[in-house]
Structures are given as C-alpha cells and as structure tokens.
C-alpha cells in the first residue's frame, strides 16, 4: 500500500523529469544540427575560391608563352585570393565575438568616433560609386561596450548600405538617445536608398551565410557573415539590431545599445556583475 502511494507521488515528478530530459536531448540535437550545417557551409564556401585558384594556376602554367593571358589569369587569382582572405577574416571575427565576453573589456565608447570610423572604412567603396555619406545626432552620446566589437558591428552595417545601393545615392547615419524603464539606450540607424529587402528575406538576412542574391554578394566581396556578426554583438551587449525595408526604396538597420551612463549605474548597483 505504502509503496503504491509513494510511486503515485513520484510518478508525476518522474514524468516531468523524463520530459525535461527529452527536451534537453531535442535541444542538444538541434544545436548539433546547427553546428553540422555550419561546418558544411564553411567547407562549401572555402571550396569555391580554392577550386578557382587551382584551375587558374593551371591556366597560368598552360599559357606561359602568352604574357597577356598570364596577366589576366593572375588578376583573377588575386580576386579569388582576396575573397578567401575576407572569408577567413570574417570567420575569425565571428568566432571571436562568439567566444569573448564583450563586457569584460567594456568601457564608455563615443558614438561619434564609432561612426567616423565606420564612414572611413567605407570611404573608398562609397567614393567609386559617388555615394554620399552623412552622419547626425552623434555628439555627446556614449555607449557601453567593447570598442572593437562595436566598431566591427557598425562598420558592417555601413559597408552593406554602400554595397547594396546604386550609384549617386545617399547613406545616412543617425544616432539618438531613447528612454526605457530598464535604462537609457542609444539607437544608431543606418539608412540607405538601395535595393531593399523583401518581407520574406528580412527574417533570414541575420543567419550565417544567408544572402538574398549570392552572386551580387560575391561580386562586392561579401561573405554572408556580416549581419550574423552584428546580431551577435548587439545581443551580447544587451541590445538588438532591427531592420526596416521597402523593396526598391531602401533599408534602415537600427542598432540599439545600452547607454554608457545607464549601464555603468547598473554595474555599480550590482558590483558582482562588474
Ligand atoms: P554579405 O557579406 O553578403 O553582405 P551580410 O550578412 O552582411 O552578408 O548580409 C546578408 C545579406 O543581406 C546580403 O547578402 C544582402 O542580400 C542582404 N543585405 C544586407 N544589408 C543590406 C542592405 N543594406 N540592403 C539590401 N540588402 C542587404
């Protein structure tokens, strides 16, 4: 009788445990599948430029008595080598933002400096397309975070705005403070007059290696990892990145980050989080 009563009492607990275990297993399987997908994607992305380089080097050897052809093939080898370098660099950046806790080296970072750096990084690409870049509202604003990671995130957004816009358009960067119950945030919005993103693609552009138009992305040296890096940096800083877009009209990517003052106050209230 007692044994029955005990097992009746234990049973619901037991089934919940089993349920938890099953949920854990499903989550573990999901993570494993995502990891396998990522390795498959990386391998595929590496294979393309490596294969091209191998074919081109053969072509150079076969054309050794035709200096013009050699020069042409060598030029294409250089493009493929640059593609490979970009890809490896972005993979390193992604793994770095995934593995380092950004708040270990957090400091107040001036928004005007981050914006100036991002504009500098894109000045050449924008210049060749006669795209004008303008920034506003950044004075006296500070975000709280890892300077290098924040610069990489904003740089990626501005780079995309330039890459996915036609010639003679405008890229605007606007910053402002927004108040919320949890503390003040800074929003930095990057607006372009480019090709835009469809409703269906909007949710997916933050996935690793997802590109709306792979050929166009490759042509601009894109790797499909930029927005995944931005999303990770935003989240690990307690912020977020959102996109508004109208196809054929342009896009606005908004990076919301904790304001330096507010984040510091929180850290002081909970010194163990410091
Ligand atoms: P990529 O290296 O291909 O630019 P990202 O992760 O930065 O990779 O972006 C993923 C995809 O999202 C791009 O290939 C492009 O299709 C789309 N995208 C990103 N930014 C913009 C933008 N400002 N305007 C239009 N499409 C964009």
Residue 19 pLDDT level (bands cut at 50, 70, 90): confident
DSSP state of 197: -
**Three-state SS at 103:** helix
Instruction: Point out which residues pair with 178 in neighbouring strands.
Output: 185
pLDDT for the residue 222:
85
pLDDT at 267 over 60: no
**Residue 246 has which token pair?**
């109208």
pLDDT at 56 over 90: yes
Helix ranges (H only) for the chain are 2-62, 67-99, 111-128, 147-163, 199-202, 214-219, 226-236, 260-269
pLDDT for the residue 17:
81
Q: Quick one: CA torsion of 239, 118, 143, 149, rounded to 10 degrees?
A: 60
The closest residue, in CA terms, to atom 8 on ligand 1 is 224
Distance 96 CA to ligand 1 centre (A): 21
Mean pLDDT (the chain, rounded): 89
User: Does the CB atom of residue 173 touch ligand 1 within 6 A?
Assistant: no
* Ligand 1 atom closest to Cα of residue 161: 23
DSSP state of 165: S
Residue 264 pLDDT level (bands cut at 50, 70, 90): low
pLDDT, greater one: 180 or 26:
26
Instruction: Please state, in angstroms and rounded to a whole number, the distance separating the CA atoms of residues 266 and 258.
Output: 11
pLDDT for the residue 111:
97
**Three-state SS at 20:** helix
As a whole number, mean pLDDT of residues 237-260 equals 96
Element (H, E) at 240: strand 240-246
Instruction: Please state, in angstroms and rounded to a whole number, the distance separating the CA atoms of residues 70 and 78.
Output: 12
pLDDT for the residue 273:
45
**Interface predicted TM-score (ipTM) of this complex, two decimals:** 0.98
The closest residue, in CA terms, to atom 4 on ligand 1 is 222
pLDDT, greater one: 273 or 151:
151
* Ligand 1 atom closest to Cα of residue 217: 3
* Cβ-contact 60, 74 below 8 angstroms: yes
Query: Which backbone phi and psi does 243 adopt, to 5 degrees?
Result: -130, 140
* Cβ-contact 254, 174 below 8 angstroms: no
pLDDT for the residue 129:
97
pLDDT for the residue 263:
52
User: Does the CB atom of residue 213 touch ligand 1 within 6 A?
Assistant: yes
pLDDT for the residue 274:
40
pLDDT digit string (tens) for 98-152? 998 888 889 999 999 999 999 999 999 999 999 999 999 989 999 999 999 999 9
* Cβ-contact 118, 154 below 8 angstroms: yes
Give pTM, 2 decimals.
Answer: 0.84
Distance 214 CA to ligand 1 centre (A): 10
pLDDT for the residue 131:
98
């Amino acid at each position: 009788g007692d044994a029955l009563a005990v097992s009746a009492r234990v049973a619901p607990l037991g089934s919940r445990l089993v349920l938890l275990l099953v949920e854990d297993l499903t989550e573990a399987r999901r993570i494993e599948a995502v990891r396998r997908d990522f390795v498959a994607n990386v391998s595929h992305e590496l294979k393309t430029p490596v294969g091209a380089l191998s074919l081109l080097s053969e072509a150079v050897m076969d054309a050794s008595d035709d200096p013009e052809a050699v020069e042409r093939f060598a030029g294409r080898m250089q493009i493929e080598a640059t593609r490979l370098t970009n890809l490896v660099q972005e993979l390193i950046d992604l793994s770095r933002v995934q593995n380092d806790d950004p708040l270990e080296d957090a400091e107040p970072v001036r928004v005007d400096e981050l914006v100036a750096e991002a504009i500098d990084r894109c000045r050449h690409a924008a210049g060749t397309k006669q795209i004008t870049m303008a920034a506003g509202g950044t004075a006296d604003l500070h975000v709280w975070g890892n300077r290098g990671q924040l610069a990489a995130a904003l740089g990626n957004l501005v780079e995309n705005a330039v890459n996915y816009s036609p010639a003679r358009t405008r890229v605007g960067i606007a910053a402002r403070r927004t108040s919320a119950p949890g503390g003040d945030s800074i929003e930095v919005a990057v607006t372009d007059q480019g090709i835009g993103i469809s409703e269906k693609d909007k949710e997916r552009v933050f996935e690793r290696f997802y590109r709306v138009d792979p050929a166009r992305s490759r042509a601009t040296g894109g790797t499909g990892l930029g927005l995944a890096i931005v999303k990770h940096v935003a989240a690990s800083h307690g912020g977020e990145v959102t996109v508004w877009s109208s196809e054929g009209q342009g896009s606005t990517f908004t990076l919301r980050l904790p304001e330096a003052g507010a984040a510091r106050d929180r850290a002081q209230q909970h010194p163990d989080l410091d």
